[in-house]
Amino acid sequence: MATIDVHNLSGAKVGTIDLADEVFGAVNEDLIWEAVKHYRAAHRAGTHATKNKKLVSGSGKKLWKQKGTGRARVGSIRSPLWRHGGTVHGPQPHSYDYTFPRKKLLGALRSALAAKLADGKLIVVNAFDVKEPKTKQFREALDKLKVDKTVLLVEEAKAGNRNLELSSRNIEGLELVRGHEVHPYHLLRYDRVIFAQPVIEKLQVSLQNSVSKRQRKASAEDGEGKKATRAPRKRVRHEKAAEVA
């Protein structure tokens, strides 16, 4: 079982926490790719559109009579066959979102956390104890934690730390999310990730329980498949002895 140091905002080490191998043990790149693809697809605007025959400008009058001219018959100047006519089967506004299995999302989140830990870019602080809404002071705290590029802050869902929000919102390349909102896309987008200690502990327990349920289900299915089958009954044929006259 791996461990990680816990720091305060001054950069001093204040303790350690244990990391479960079920959560931080392996990286599945395929699951991460699928989770990021789903996240980006759900955020597509889908507003592109083309004009069909009824939307383009132009009169609907028949240009010439149907027969007797020697020319091809035509009904409207807005025909798709004509220049400036309508577009056939063009793109229309729609949503690109699709259903993504929750188990695969949790697996991708475990893999993203394991990748950050393996790269040494996962930081845990005991708490985001920001006393004053000062951007300069919070930037100094990030420097003490050796954050020199983009960073993701993961705070408790019900923390309500207004000073943290005001201190961090003007820092370029920084995003603040709640513990229940963190996504594998966030972990990959930013160079470093800073978790509050209560958040990563709750997240670890939740991900660990999901793994345990999956393993119990798999073991139960294996147990059912390996049940010993009852041997078929042997039919005994009773032959009557022939009576000797």
Confidence at 245, pLDDT banded by 50, 70, 90: very low
Residue partners of 202: CB distance under 8 A and separation at least 6: 179
pLDDT of the residue at 128: 87
pLDDT of the residue at 220: 57
Helix residue spans in 127-176 (DSSP H): 135-144, 162-168
pLDDT of the residue at 14: 87
Residues 16-27 pLDDT 10s: 898 888 888 889
Lowest mean pLDDT: which of 61-65, 82-86, 146-150, 232-236? 232-236
CATH homologous superfamily for 2-45+101-220? Ribosomal protein L4/L1 (3.40.1370.10)
The mean predicted confidence, pLDDT, of the chain is 85
Residue partners of 128: CB distance under 8 A and separation at least 6: 9, 153, 155, 159, 161, 164, 196
Is it the case that residue 84 has pLDDT exceeding 70? yes
Maximum alpha-carbon separation in the chain: 120
Is it the case that residue 239 has pLDDT exceeding 60? no
Handedness of CA 46, 47, 48, 49 (dihedral sign): positive
Mean pLDDT, range 230-239, rounded to an integer: 52
Lowest mean pLDDT: which of 105-114, 144-153, 185-194, 209-218? 209-218
Mean pLDDT, range 1-14, rounded to an integer: 86
Q: What is the pTM of this model?
A: 0.74
DSSP string for 177-225: EETTT--HHHHHHSSEEEEEHHHHHHHHHHHHHHHHHHHHHHHHHHHHH
User: How would you classify the pairing of strands 122-125 and 13-19?
Assistant: unpaired
pLDDT of the residue at 13: 86
Lowest mean pLDDT: which of 50-59, 97-106, 157-166, 201-210? 157-166
Confidence at 105, pLDDT banded by 50, 70, 90: very high
SS3 (DSSP) at 133? coil
How many other CB atoms are found less than 10 A from the CB of residue 54? 9
Is it the case that residue 238 has pLDDT exceeding 60? no
**Single-letter amino acid code for the residue at 141:** A
Confidence at 219, pLDDT banded by 50, 70, 90: very low
DSSP E strand boundaries for the chain: 2-7, 13-19, 122-125, 151-155, 174-178, 192-196
